[in-house]
């Protein structure tokens, strides 16, 4: 049965996109059929997957059509990234930034993505959603559509407050619209040997215990090269980050069961 996992944090630059892409890649390498859904108007996941927006059709068109009762099937806009092990993906673009406006007056506005993804769920083992950095209606849509959520959190910066805001939202969604949402955990990213990392990680562990993924992801410039090359590091031999994300993906599979 398909599991949908959101990668969320209202902070930008915490490695949401890097995590979404590498989780999808690692699962795909494990023989799972994966759909990566770009749900950020910045569309970084789409460019990572090699998308060029020549034809300008994105998740936003599907959402907008859905809202006016026109049933355009999301299947029609799914692309495949050959450079990334044949991962399927749903592209996004900047027009998704208008969603706040057209969603606000409609009924059940927080369940639109859920209903759209239901059209393609049966084809996949996993759907990974890369969220935008906000706590707005698009992120709520992602959490309502999901079976699990992972929160990547940078350890360089003391962002306990930010973590509380997003974990509160997760709790509200669990209590309200989606009791099936499983908080899979917090993934420490850009981990290095500084005392800042160690102190922050300690604070996270005291606060969240087992919810912190055990090994985290090291800081490495290869992450930036990988987005430039439009290819996840899981597909490269001897990549430390690639191996860390594979271990993380295995833990995600254990936790989502």
Ligand X SMILES: Nc1ncnc2c1ncn2[C@@H]1O[C@H](COP(=O)(O)OP(=O)(O)O)[C@@H](O)[C@H]1O
Which residues make up the interface to ligand X (CB under 6 A)? 12-18, 44, 133, 189-190, 217, 219-220, 223-224, 227, 241
Q: How far is the CB of 79 from ligand X (least distance, A)?
A: 20
Q: How far is the CB of 119 from Mg ion (least distance, A)?
A: 25
Category of 85 on φ-ψ map: left (φ > 0), alpha (ψ -120 to 50) or beta: left
Q: What is the DSSP letter of 135?
A: S
Q: How far is CA 15 from the centre of its chain?
A: 10
Residues in contact with Mg ion, shown as a per-residue x/- string from 191 to 230 under the rule CB under 5 A: ----------------------------------------
Q: How far is the CB of 184 from ligand X (least distance, A)?
A: 17
Q: DSSP of 48-72, one letter per residue?
A: HTT--GGG---HHHHHHHHHTT---
Q: Of 39-47, 56-64, 100-108, 144-152, which segment contacts Mg ion by CB under 5 A?
A: 39-47
Nearest residue to Mg ion, by Cβ distance, number only: 17
Q: Which is nearer to ligand X, 158 or 225 (CB)?
A: 225
| Alpha carbon separation from 19 to 54, 181, 218, 229, 242 (Å, rounded) | 26, 19, 12, 16, 11
Rg (CA), the chain: 17
Whole-number Å distance between alpha carbons of 117 and 102:
19
Q: Which of 10, 17, 60, 92 binds Mg ion (CB under 5 A)?
A: 17
Q: Of 30-38, 44-52, 186-194, 216-224, which segment contacts Mg ion by CB under 5 A?
A: 44-52
Tell whether residue 16 is a contact of Mg ion (CB under 5 A).
Answer: yes
Q: Which is nearer to ligand X, 4 or 217 (CB)?
A: 217
* Contacted by 7, from Mg ion, ligand X, none: CB < 5 to 8 Å by type: none
| Alpha carbon separation from 250 to 188, 212, 253 (Å, rounded) | 16, 15, 5
Q: Which is nearer to ligand X, 9 or 178 (CB)?
A: 9
* Contacted by 136, from Mg ion, ligand X, none: CB < 5 to 8 Å by type: none
* Contacted by 190, from Mg ion, ligand X, none: CB < 5 to 8 Å by type: ligand X
3-class DSSP state of 29: helix
Phi, psi (5° rounding) for residue 245? -70, -30
Tell whether residue 46 is a contact of Mg ion (CB under 5 A).
Answer: no
- Provide CB contacts within 8 A for 165, sequence distance 6+: 10, 135
Q: Are 65 and 73 in contact (CB under 8 A)?
A: no
3-class DSSP state of 11: coil
Q: How far is the CB of 106 from ligand X (least distance, A)?
A: 28
Q: How far is the CB of 15 from Mg ion (least distance, A)?
A: 8
Chain residues in the site for Mg ion (CB under 5 A): 16-17, 44
């Amino acid at each position: 049965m398909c599991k949908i996992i959101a990668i969320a944090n209202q902070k930008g630059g915490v490695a949401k996109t890097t995590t979404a892409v590498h989780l999808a890649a690692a699962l795909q390498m494990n023989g799972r059929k994966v759909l990566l859904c770009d749900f950020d108007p910045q569309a970084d996941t789409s460019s990572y997957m090699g998308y060029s927006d020549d034809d300008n059709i994105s998740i936003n068109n599907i959402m907008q059509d859905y809202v006016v009762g026109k049933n355009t099937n999301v299947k029609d806009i799914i692309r495949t990234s050959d450079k990334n092990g044949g991962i399927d993906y749903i592209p996004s673009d900047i027009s998704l930034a208008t969603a706040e406006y057209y969603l606000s007056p409609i009924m059940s506005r927080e369940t639109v993505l859920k209903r759209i993804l239901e059209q393609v769920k049966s084809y996949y083992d996993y759907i990974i959603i890369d969220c935008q950095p906000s706590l707005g209606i698009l992120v709520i849509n992602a959490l309502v559509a999901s079976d699990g959520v992972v929160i990547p959190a940078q350890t360089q910066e003391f962002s306990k407050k930010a973590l509380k805001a997003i974990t509160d939202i997760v709790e509200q969604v669990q209590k309200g619209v989606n009791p099936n949402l499983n908080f899979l955990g917090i993934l420490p990213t850009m981990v290095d040997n500084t005392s800042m990392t160690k102190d922050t990680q300690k604070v996270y562990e005291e606060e969240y215990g087992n919810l912190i993924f055990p090994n985290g992801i090291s800081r490495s410039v290869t992450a930036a090269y990988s987005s430039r090359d439009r290819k996840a590091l899981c597909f490269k031999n001897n990549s430390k980050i690639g191996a860390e994300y594979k271990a993380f993906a295995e833990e995600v599979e254990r936790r989502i069961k």
